[in-house]
Structure 1
Amino acid sequence: MDTGLISPDEDAEDDRRDVYHPGNRCLGRVVACNGSQATISAVINAGETTLSELWSVGRLVSISTGVSRIAALVYSMTTQSRAWADSHDNVMLVEVELVGEVTTLEDGEVLFHSGIRTYPHLGAVAHRMRATDLAAIYRNHSDKSEVIGRLSQDETMDAAISIPTLLDRHFAVLGSTGVGKSTSVSHLINKAIAAEPTLRVLILDPHNEFAAAFPDKSVVIEPDTMSLPFWLFRLEEFVEVLFRGRPGVPEEIDFLHDLIAEAKRIFKATPDSGIVRRDAERHGISVDTPVPYRLTDLIDQIDERLGKLDGKDEKPTLRNLKQRILSAASNPRFRFMFANNAVGDTMADVISAIFRIPGHGRPITAFQLSGIPSEVVNAVASVLCRLAFELGVAANGGLRLLVLCEEAHRYVPADASIGFAPTRQAIARIAKEGRKYGVGLGVITQRPGELDATILSQCSTVFAMRLTNDKDQEIIAKAISSSSSSTIGFLSSLDNGEAIAFGEAIAVPMRMRFERLAQHRLPRSAGRESSLAAERRANDAGALVRRMRHVAPVDDFALGRGVSAGLDKSPSDDLLDDAPGLFYGSRGDPEFLSHVPGSSQSVRRYSDGSTSLPRSPLTQTAREPDVRTNGAPSSSTPDSRTEHERELSIREAIFGRPGSSRR
């Protein structure tokens, strides 16, 4: 394959021959030049095609200045007459971008420098690039450089990057859907861990696909197995959960601020909480201090205020707040926050599990977000990114961390009026200050135009894969250096797995192709099933309904009759959304009972393989009238039940016993 390169032996040819002779390495002469670009004129003899075949868009050529050689990238070609004739000579005008300067030292070493010190004069000879010059241009001088692929211009040449710079100064992988972003990122992570064995990687994985790429290097945290205690959430994050992503009620938030701070101060349920209590007394505890507290203490404080004779105007607000807390705590979808009723100071265990301390040979954590309710994903992402930064600060840079944000435009959108502010702040803090504490950021998105420009500007290395949207291409054009701006013209024509890489971790902007991964190492969604299994399930409506109810069981009483539990006004939309979670509804979630203390009911299994749970007293009363011995229905109805009775039922479902929940 003719790559357009010449060997050192060819370089010794006599250049005094006809400069347009096809056998000569001369391609043309400079006829125009400015600070960053030049125009080369090349004459193609009648009937000849050899010389014209050496010109192609995207190829590097060399321009001799006498003391050095200028590397130039071809980005546009045309003929002087705007036509092509076989009967006479054709004059080509080739537009090139000046990339840098190559010099040869006395000892024969070839060096490349970005920028131009000696510009080519008019008439300067343009020729094919030497193989040694091309190697010098793309050589990475970092002590921990890793080969990630091959140059598109010459697949015999390695494409290498500096791993320390990539991690310290953040990076971004941008490209349209289906171009191979996840595969490329998986390859980068493998190379990063090979160069930095102490690195810990946290992947925010919204599609559950990265676990397959690191079967022997990662642990997977799924919604069914994850534990992210509610007390780790700061006030804004906890409010995001309670209000399901909708704006909070200011009066309720004010109460919650005081109640959480007090609940943390009175925490004394477990023997090891004494350390926390003594620290609290010495240093003071605020609402955002990451120490445990019990929901029972929170509810008891609300009950205490509700029991007072004064403050009648506050009672509706307190009742609404109480209902939100009970609703969230009893919802199976939020079991990752509220499943453990035996509250203790497990922060060290949580940090160890999420950030792999110690790693035990598996330094990667794939945090799968697809099973988390979409309305609280931002709050979870905020907690994780905030903990990563705080962990780096606590370690004073002694712990190397990389936070990888897939679909980053969800968390830090360009429009500041949308998204969740704490998540934006947590990611922005890593981007701006993470380098000082050994915390790196990796950003992946197919919509760079919808990503906060401030975050992208902090990524000093960019891998731009195929992008067809003009707005997205403009974003890349602003990020790349002016001396390589013509490279952006190739974005829409890149192949899958191909990228234009530029930034501080790369010697010079390059068009490269990532190395291919083995089939079993490719990222793929953990939720995908074989087409046959998927087809069978799709044809079974009952199975589909049971699967839907496993995520969010439906309760006709909760949705049809309401669960106001004493609310002075109709429940808001978010309470209705979560009402199903208050009950164990028919054919609901069998696993939920394992999280309810004192639940010894057996799961009923049907001949079709489905399951159902015995109804709780609240559900049974709501759905089925109490049939007396004479067959007459009881006069007791859901509407006639007192607020206190319904509240006790909810308490029993969540905390395991009625009455006061202090322990």
Structure 2
Amino acid sequence: MREEKFHTIIGHVKSVNGSRLSIKLSDDFKSSMPIINGLVYRVGQIGSFVRIPLGYAHLYGIVTQAGADAIPEKLTMTNTSLENMHQSSRWITVVLVGERVRSKFERGVIQYPTPDDEVHLVTIDDLKIIYSEINKDSSLTIGQISASESLPAHIDLNRFLSRHAAIVGSTGSGKSNTVSVILEAIASNQRYKSSRILLIDPHGEYNETLKNYSKVFKINADTEKSEAELQIPFWALPFNELFSIFPGTLKENALDAIRSEIQERKIASSKSLTKKPKEHSINADSPIPFSINDLWHELDDFEKQVFNKVEVSKGNWELQLVERLEDGDATKLIPSRHHPPAPGGGNPNLNKGAMGILTFLNGMRNRITDDRYKFLFDPGEYLPNLKGKSEKDLNMLLSDWLNHDKQLTILDLSGIPSEIMSSISGTIIKIIYDSLFWGQELNVGGRKQPILIALEEAHSYLKAGEDSISSRTVQTIAKEGRKYGVGLLLITQRPSELDETVLSQLGTLIALRMTNAKDRGHVGSVMPDDLNDLVSLLPSLRTGEGLIMGEAVKIPSRVKFDKIAYAPKSSDPLVSERWILEKPDSKEYEELILRWRNRKFN
């Protein structure tokens, strides 16, 4: 014991404020880089650990401050001269994070040190005790501990999934690699043969990286790469989200009328479903097929109707519908032709019941026929006929997404127009969450087969203060998802733009290099365990290195993540490859303009 004290004691506790300790480094301990058993240690390094023996127990803390800033405030007030501080730079602030009794380490502490208790270095032997204490059944190896790269870094899958997590870091910090390493660690583990991971990827950067473990759904899928076409049937969207896709706005009376019409259509088409829902439970938000082409055609026809005012008996007049000039085609969205109303109030007269929505209907038609929205309004076998009956129902879509032979589903949203990204991504999350919520007692529900939903570029559709379907749904999952087996993983380079309510619900935080001061401040405000001072470390982290804090690790750790076999690639065109080719024929601009005007890609 004497030999250990001689080698490892570095100072004494001087102040205890909850879990925060102020420690005065010993004047007898001259070297800041002692050599113990052939290994060099750095005393007082931010993020390093210290050990405080208390009888049979040993408390462990992490250094968050060093130098004059670590001096207790009362001590600085009573000593105005730094020369009276006995080498004022030899102070450190430590936050207690766990304790070891004999060889068992536990997170949190049940006892606290007192002033003048000894403080020791944490050696490689101490670290081995801490990091070897893992549950092999639920542990994932994702890298190495930076302080000693011979020690593997683990996270606990149960806590990582059920308590939610975030991976944050600037561009180029290794964020995509970290995501890939963690998801691959889950998907490649033979124990988890029924694992379910859904990755929503706005840029398609993980298609190659995780190709051995995933099924990719994307617009204009490449079947040679075993990709599947991304189809999201419009009728699965809530009413407000569906109509927010169309340009223009509708007055409240028109919205109410259309909402009622859709409800009636969904009630009618529900009668042809294999399993029929109760009629009183159906509303305009219910995920039941209906024909939007037929809805548009009838609304357009109604708005253009004209009537003749006819005297049926002396002094009695009534309006009679004037026959159309030409019937339209709902399937092809060709409108019917009607007689124009006569000027001056003569016959034929305008339909007084019309809602004045022809301009909106024109925009609606253009959106439905736009090739960019084909995944939504022409979703293959999920497209209902004019009577509202579709070949495939929503159960088949969920089975395609969540019950294939791979562990990971990637929804590549790179082909979705940016103006509806928030609405579509939010709808996808809501479809998944609502289905698992209502099916929680079934074998495919979240309780019996949990799911991890990973949201790449979360800041692009989960903005703070925004009342969107994606924000509302993710907030619900953050607050309640753990009860229903739905875990959340947010991935972002701009945490300052994320909703703070959601961030505060995350149990695990993985912070990589971050240079933006605003983002660092936001991350510091949600760091657990009084460790917000560690945010000063973030700008100096190496690429592929990060701080892991929270529920999924025994102790806050600085980790060097493994390298993924297939590095994530940007989907942007490579300028150096394209600019060496010959310029194209100018005649192609004619075809370009035609496609633009037709809103078709071919």
TM category (shorter chain) comes to 0.7 to 0.9
Change (3 A) 1:445 1:313: farther
Q: Percent identity?
A: 25
Find the counterpart in structure 2 of residue 315 from structure 1: 354
The separation in 2 between residues aligned to 1:94 and 1:157, in whole angstroms, is 29
Preserved CA contact (<8 Å) 1:415 1:450: no
Find the counterpart in structure 2 of residue 126 from structure 1: 119
Find the counterpart in structure 2 of residue 8 from structure 1: none
The separation in 2 between residues aligned to 1:280 and 1:391, in whole angstroms, is 15
Change (3 A) 1:390 1:308: farther
The separation in 1 between residues aligned to 2:208 and 2:521, in whole angstroms, is 34
Change (3 A) 1:312 1:165: same
Which of the numbers 521, 531, 540 marks the counterpart of 2:576? 531
The separation in 1 between residues aligned to 2:395 and 2:4, in whole angstroms, is 71
User: How far did residue 534 of structure 1 move?
Assistant: 5.4
With 73-82 and 421-430 compared, the bigger mean Cα shift is at: 73-82
The separation in 2 between residues aligned to 1:285 and 1:33, in whole angstroms, is 61
Query: Is the partner of 1:554 in helix, strand or coil?
Result: helix
Find the counterpart in structure 1 of residue 171 from structure 2: 177
Find the counterpart in structure 2 of residue 393 from structure 1: 437
User: How far did residue 461 of structure 1 move?
Assistant: 0.9
Q: Count the aligned residue pairs.
A: 516
Find the counterpart in structure 2 of residue 234 from structure 1: 238
User: How far did residue 283 of structure 1 move?
Assistant: 4.4
User: How far did residue 531 of structure 1 move?
Assistant: 3.1
Find the counterpart in structure 1 of residue 552 from structure 2: 505
Preserved CA contact (<8 Å) 1:60 1:73: yes
The separation in 1 between residues aligned to 2:540 and 2:30, in whole angstroms, is 32
TM alignment of 1:141-540, pairs within 5 A: 141-142=134-135, 143-193=137-187, 194=189, 196-224=192-220, 225-243=229-247, 249-267=251-269, 274-276=271-273, 279=276, 282-283=279-280, 285-303=282-300, 305-306=302-303, 307=305, 309=307, 312=351, 315=354, 317-339=356-378, 340=380, 343=385, 344-346=390-392, 347-353=394-400, 355-357=401-403, 359-360=404-405, 362-396=406-440, 397-416=447-466, 421-518=468-565, 521-529=566-574, 531-533=576-578, 535-536=580-581, 539-540=583-584
TM-score normalised by the chain length of structure 2: 0.77
The separation in 1 between residues aligned to 2:241 and 2:125, in whole angstroms, is 56
User: How far did residue 390 of structure 1 move?
Assistant: 1.7
Query: Is the partner of 2:122 in helix, strand or coil?
Result: strand
TM alignment of 1:616-655, pairs within 5 A: none
The separation in 2 between residues aligned to 1:45 and 1:99, in whole angstroms, is 22
Cα RMSD (Å): 3.3
Amino acid at match of 2:423: A
Query: Is the partner of 2:255 in helix, strand or coil?
Result: helix
Change (3 A) 1:458 1:543: farther
1:72 aligns with 2:65: no
Amino acid at match of 2:484: Y
User: How far did residue 449 of structure 1 move?
Assistant: 1.2
Change (3 A) 1:54 1:463: closer
User: How far did residue 322 of structure 1 move?
Assistant: 2.6
1:554 aligns with 2:548: no
Amino acid at match of 2:51: S
Find the counterpart in structure 2 of residue 39 from structure 1: 23
With 425-434 and 249-258 compared, the bigger mean Cα shift is at: 249-258
Preserved CA contact (<8 Å) 2:217 2:412: yes
User: How far did residue 34 of structure 1 move?
Assistant: 3.8
User: How far did residue 394 of structure 1 move?
Assistant: 3.5
Preserved CA contact (<8 Å) 1:172 1:461: yes
Query: Is the partner of 2:581 in helix, strand or coil?
Result: helix
What do residues 528-569 of structure 1 show as CA deviations (whole Å, max 9, x unaligned)? 4583235437x44759858966xx9323xxxxxxxxxxxxxx
1:55 aligns with 2:43: yes
The separation in 1 between residues aligned to 2:64 and 2:202, in whole angstroms, is 38
Change (3 A) 1:232 1:47: closer
Find the counterpart in structure 2 of residue 28 from structure 1: 11
User: How far did residue 155 of structure 1 move?
Assistant: 1.3
What do residues 398-422 of structure 1 show as CA deviations (whole Å, max 9, x unaligned)? 3322221112122221123xxx622
The separation in 2 between residues aligned to 1:66 and 1:452, in whole angstroms, is 45
Preserved CA contact (<8 Å) 1:388 1:401: no
User: How far did residue 135 of structure 1 move?
Assistant: 2.7
User: How far did residue 249 of structure 1 move?
Assistant: 4.7
Preserved CA contact (<8 Å) 1:99 1:484: no
Amino acid at match of 2:210: F
Amino acid at match of 1:153: A
Query: Is the partner of 2:272 in helix, strand or coil?
Result: helix
Find the counterpart in structure 2 of residue 622 from structure 1: none
With 135-144 and 210-219 compared, the bigger mean Cα shift is at: 135-144
Query: Does 1 or 2 have the higher relative contact order (CA < 8 Å, sep 6+)?
Result: 2
User: How far did residue 97 of structure 1 move?
Assistant: 0.6
Amino acid at match of 1:554: W
Find the counterpart in structure 2 of residue 618 from structure 1: none
Which of the numbers 589, 612, 621 marks the counterpart of 2:601? 589
Find the counterpart in structure 2 of residue 652 from structure 1: none
Structure 1 unaligned blocks of 5 or more: 1-11, 84-88, 268-272, 556-579, 582-587, 591-663
The separation in 2 between residues aligned to 1:303 and 1:216, in whole angstroms, is 49
What do residues 114-151 of structure 1 show as CA deviations (whole Å, max 9, x unaligned)? 225030431x3333224343233344543311121111
Amino acid at match of 1:181: K
Preserved CA contact (<8 Å) 1:44 1:92: no
Find the counterpart in structure 2 of residue 629 from structure 1: none
Query: Is the partner of 1:115 in helix, strand or coil?
Result: coil
Find the counterpart in structure 1 of residue 340 from structure 2: none
With 466-475 and 399-408 compared, the bigger mean Cα shift is at: 466-475
The separation in 1 between residues aligned to 2:32 and 2:355, in whole angstroms, is 89
